[in-house]
Amino acid sequence: MPKVSEDHLAARRSQILDGARRCFAEHGYEGATVRRLEDATGLSRGAIFHHFKDKDGLFLALAQEDARRMAEVAADEGLVQVMRDMLASPEQFDWLGTRLEITRRLRTDPEFARAWTEHSAQLTEATERRLERQREAGRLRDDVPTGVLLGYLDLVLDGLVARLASGHAEKELTQVLDLVEESVRRRD
């Protein structure tokens, strides 16, 4: 059997993730059957599951990829910028519309909850570090603990994801994010 290059394997993995992202966005987690994943990726189940253990593994790989990308932005520019990116390119995040299914699985599937928590920790840690740096630089309000601000921003993020998943990407959402950003800044 010929040896497959690392570049080819990376390209195939990316092809699978891109197709899976579209499939999960269109059909939800439960509706993204193996057959639909095959159609969305243009590959056989053997090819898909050569790269990913199972559907959960594929779904969690998407979560990990997005968490890494969002954590990079959050570390440099803050969680509100992550939300602005979602507004600017909702098609890159539309698979997160599966959030209700994720929430159900977090309550009912301990193994999934453990894996999801590991992947989402990147974004939480990056955001918390950014908030601490902003606080030390005197840019962040100091009358509210960092953990409360983090919870507030997470709640806004969840609301934005739900809003985008329902197809409501109003122009006012940019102004809402301006308001959110202003609400965490230090008031002199």
Does residue 11 surpass a pLDDT of 60? yes
Rounded to whole angstroms, how far apart are CA atoms 47 and 65?
Answer: 20
Place of tokens 């809402």: 176
pLDDT, one tens digit per residue, over 51-106 is 999 998 898 888 888 888 888 999 999 999 999 998 888 777 777 777 777 778 88
Residue for token digits 């998407």? 62
How high is the pLDDT of residue 8? 85
Whether 187 has a pLDDT exceeding 70, the answer reads yes
The pTM of this model reads: 0.80
**Is 155's pLDDT higher than 90?**
yes
Give per-residue pLDDT as tens, 15-51: 999 999 889 888 988 899 999 999 999 999 999 999 9
Phi then psi dihedrals of residue 93, to 5 deg: -125, 5
- Structural contact between residues 29 and 101, judged by C-beta atoms closer than 8 angstroms: yes
The pLDDT, as a whole number, for residue 20 is: 92
Three-state DSSP at 33 gives coil
Rounded to the nearest 10 degrees, how much is the dihedral formed by the CA atoms of 138, 142, 146, 149? Answer: -100
Q: What element of type H or E holds 116? A: helix 110-136
Compute φ and ψ for 167, nearest 5 degrees: 85, 15
